[in-house]
Amino acid sequence: MHISEGVLSAPVLAGGAAFAVAGIAVGLKKLDNNRIPQAGILAAAFFVASLVHVPIGPSSMHLILNGIVGLLMGWAAFPVIAVALVLQAILFQFGGITSLGVNTIIMAGPAVLGYYLFTPFIARGHTTAMAGAFACGFTAVLVSALIAAAALMLTGEAFLEVSAALVAAHIVVMIIEGIITMFCVAFLKKVQPSMLSIG
Amino acid sequence: MMRTYLKRTPLTKAGWLYLIIGVILMVYAGPALGHGVQGRITPQTGMQVNASYDDGEPMAYAAVEVTHADEKLPFQTGRTDRNGCFVFLPDKPGDWRVVVNDGMGHQLSLTTQLDKNLELNKESGPEKTYGALSRPEKALMGIAIIFGLSGVFFWWRGRAEMRKVRDAKKTVS
């Protein structure tokens, strides 16, 4: 899902960068001091998650974890994910420096969306919370694939074909991310519900 | 003999001239008006491109574009095979650029330099080397950088807080 260097046209890259900077600014403003260490730990987890490869048939996919990052951080998912993506681009050549803005939107946009859509479910009873958590992990990756396809469409690829290919390639990751998000929420609800912004 | 034959035929001299010109045109223009095709399959060595994702999975059926540094138009376009391989036969020395794009956001860009014998210039091989650190070492480095950054950010935010507290103390005293 990381878009490489040189794939997208300059206007798409510039637009992505502008939106990403705006998102990071909002995220940093909304980030409380006492949540900074949590942001650091989540950034580290997001950074390393892409190195965990899930074998799917003959190919493999890596974890993304933007659903759980969004659920825990809200708007602060933008700076968290941006820092992790910068390091992934520099150290592992995932994505590229010029496509950082677009990649941040692809990963952090759905994270924030998931925060707004699914936090109300997390506060409810066990079954609803678990369903909400699964849906959050699942939807975040799905929306990421759709945004990536939209970015590629603006540079000339056919939207339906690319989005279908991306969604098909990530369907197992979506389910795995849903399950991981579910376990994380179940654990945090018992141990430290304050981390889930539900008090 | 020829003269009597020419006299007997109904064609005039001009008619013969047209006929001869027509035959010449047909013989020479033939290849230009209708292309025949020919070809053969021979074992051949060329420049082989192997494109794969970082986990080793081949970039199968990805679009490839081969361009010489001095030319604007691509020398060759095509797709990798199911093993992520692509072979091209460069026809002149210099820098050659190969771009492999899977259409889903991943793009591999390689440059190679050929000498006048169209052989790989060893000094500028196509392999990119990304530092000497292994992947776990890089992961550790990344985590350390992230923790360092959050520490610096924490201190920076804390400094503003401390200033507020100090100012509050001053106004109290």
Q: How high is the ipTM of this complex?
A: 0.82
Q: What is the pLDDT of residue A126?
A: 87
Q: Which fold has domain B47-124?
A: Immunoglobulin-like (2.60.40)
Can you read off the two tokens belonging to residue A163?
């989005």
Q: Provide the 3-class DSSP secondary structure of residue B111.
A: strand
Q: What percent of chain B has pLDDT over 70?
A: 83
Tell me which range, A14-18, A161-165, B159-163, is most confidently predicted by mean pLDDT: A14-18
> Are B142 and A53 inside 8 Å of each other by CB?
no
Task: Of A56-70, A111-125, B26-40, give the range with the top mean pLDDT.
Answer: A111-125
Query: Could you tell me which residue, B4 or B21, shows the higher pLDDT?
Result: B21
In a domain, A109, yes or no: yes
In chain B, where are the structural domains located? 2-33, 47-124
Helix (H, G, I), strand (E, B) or coil at A72: helix
Which residues from chain B sit within 8 angstroms of residue A148, using beta carbons? 104-105
pLDDT tens figures, B87-131: 999 888 888 999 998 877 788 888 888 888 878 775 544 455 445
As a whole number, the mean pLDDT across chain A is 89
In the DSSP assignment, the letter for residue A64 is -
User: What integer pLDDT is reported at residue B125 of this predicted model?
Assistant: 46
| Contact list, B140 vs chain A (CB under 8 Å) | none
Strands (E), chain B: 47-50, 63-68, 76-79, 85-88, 94-101, 107-114
Cβ within 8 Å of A, B 37-66: 54-55, 57
A85 touches chain B (CB under 8 A): no
**Inter-chain residue contact B109 with A6, CB threshold 8 Å:** yes
Choice between A28 and A197, residue whose per-residue pLDDT is larger: A28
CA distances in angstroms from B132 to A91, A143, B51, B128, B137, listed in the order given? 11, 36, 21, 12, 10
Q: How many domains does chain A have?
A: 1
Could you tell me the residue range of the domain that residue A159 belongs to?
Answer: 10-196
Tell me: the pLDDT tens digits for B130-163? 456 778 888 999 999 999 999 999 998 888 888 8
- Distance of alpha carbon B80 from alpha carbon B87, whole angstroms: 9
Beta bridge partners of B77: B65
